[in-house]
């Protein structure tokens, strides 16, 4: 009898393991950050992103200038083309907000503030922040964090629209904090390392990333309010800048595009 129940227990555990394996397999991350559990499939993430973007349209002051949005989408698209999620639709938005900030919402929705366009003096610096945000998206840090914070039942319901209060919380967080979430140091490191690689492959000078980080660190001393939200969601230090420079050197990353007339036209608009 005891042996029988033990067999059942072992069998039960094997079934549970197989089910977990199937679940993780079905919801595998992009592979960039293998090992982190993500309970939301790519397809679900992209429909969640569409819904969030639709609702954010009513809550953020988006710039409705086709040429400007077109240029940002062109730079973003060039970076996205180097990633594992290049075959999915990505959308780029400009928020009319003088604060320096940018953020990625799950499902390929990337937002940059006009304040960032003011702070980034050339397209290499601008693409540095854009590539970093795209990398958060490709590595699926947002939905990983939702998976950790809420667990299967809630995230499944969230995607199906069954958890309106959690959905509203997430929306309010994005609007209030100017970010989907506060990312961990590991997430930041991964987004930096992936970002400089994408920049380089897209032809942009990857040094633009540590350079814009340096600009933001300096801004933090001279006008702290203007970068507060960016720093809250993306902890930024001198050590991190050194790490990014080391990554560029170690991987021999090249890419020389720094000045682009299209970017200067974009800056003159804001």
Per rule CB under 5 A, is residue 140 in the interface with Zn ion?
no
Per rule CB under 5 A, is residue 207 in the interface with Zn ion?
no
Near Zn ion by CB under 5 A, which window of 67-75, 118-126, 196-204, 229-237?
229-237
**Which CB atom, from 244 or from 248, has the smaller least distance to Zn ion?**
244
Question: Distance between CA atoms of 152 and 160, rounded to whole angstroms?
Answer: 12
**Which CB atom, from 154 or from 229, has the smaller least distance to Zn ion?**
229
Q: CB of 220: closest distance to Zn ion in angstroms?
A: 15
Q: CB of 240: closest distance to Zn ion in angstroms?
A: 10
Question: Distance between CA atoms of 215 and 220, rounded to whole angstroms?
Answer: 9
DSSP-derived 3-state class of residue 191: helix
Q: CB of 4: closest distance to Zn ion in angstroms?
A: 54
Q: What are phi and psi of 113, to 5 degrees?
A: -80, 155
- 168: nearest Cα among 160, 158, 178, 177: 158
Per rule CB under 5 A, is residue 78 in the interface with Zn ion?
no
**Which CB atom, from 29 or from 163, has the smaller least distance to Zn ion?**
29
Judged by CB under 5 A, how many residues of this single chain contact Zn ion? 3
Per rule CB under 5 A, is residue 234 in the interface with Zn ion?
yes
Q: CB of 129: closest distance to Zn ion in angstroms?
A: 9
Tell which positions 32-51 bind Zn ion, by CB under 5 A.
Answer: none
Question: Distance between CA atoms of 74 and 4, rounded to whole angstroms?
Answer: 64
Neighbour-count burial of 148, counting CB atoms closer than 10 A to its CB (0-12 exposed, 13-18 middle, 19+ buried) = middle
- 253: nearest Cα among 205, 192, 212: 205
Helix (H) or strand (E) holding 4: helix 2-26
Per rule CB under 5 A, is residue 240 in the interface with Zn ion?
no
Per rule CB under 5 A, is residue 229 in the interface with Zn ion?
no
Binding residues (CB under 5 A) for Zn ion: these are: 188, 191, 234
């Amino acid at each position: 009898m005891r042996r029988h129940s033990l067999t059942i227990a072992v069998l039960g555990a094997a079934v549970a393991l197989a089910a977990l394996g199937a679940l993780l397999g079905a919801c595998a991350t992009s592979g960039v950050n293998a090992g982190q559990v993500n309970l939301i499939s790519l397809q679900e993430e992209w429909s969640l992103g569409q819904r969030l973007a639709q609702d954010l349209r009513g809550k953020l002051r988006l710039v409705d200038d086709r040429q400007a949005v077109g240029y940002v989408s062109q730079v973003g698209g060039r970076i996205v083309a180097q990633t594992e999620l290049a075959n999915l639709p990505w959308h780029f938005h400009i928020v009319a907000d003088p604060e320096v900030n940018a953020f990625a919402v799950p499902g390929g929705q990337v937002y940059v503030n006009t304040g960032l366009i003011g702070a980034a003096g050339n397209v290499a610096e601008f693409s540095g922040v854009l590539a970093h945000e795209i990398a958060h998206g490709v590595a699926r840090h947002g939905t990983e964090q939702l998976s950790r914070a809420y667990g299967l039942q809630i995230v499944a319901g969230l995607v199906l629209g069954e958890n309106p209060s959690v959905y509203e919380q997430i929306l309010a967080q994005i609007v209030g904090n100017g970010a989907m979430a506060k990312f961990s140091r590991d997430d930041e490191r991964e987004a930096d390392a992936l970002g400089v690689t994408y920049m380089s492959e897209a032809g942009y000078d990857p040094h633009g990333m540590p350079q814009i980080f340096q600009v933001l660190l300096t801004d933090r001393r001279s006008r702290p309010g203007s970068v507060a939200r960016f720093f809250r969601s993306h902890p930024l230090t001198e050590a991190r800048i050194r790490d990014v420079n080391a990554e560029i050197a170690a991987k021999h990353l090249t890419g020389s595009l720094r000045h682009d007339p299209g970017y200067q036209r974009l800056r003159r608009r804001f």
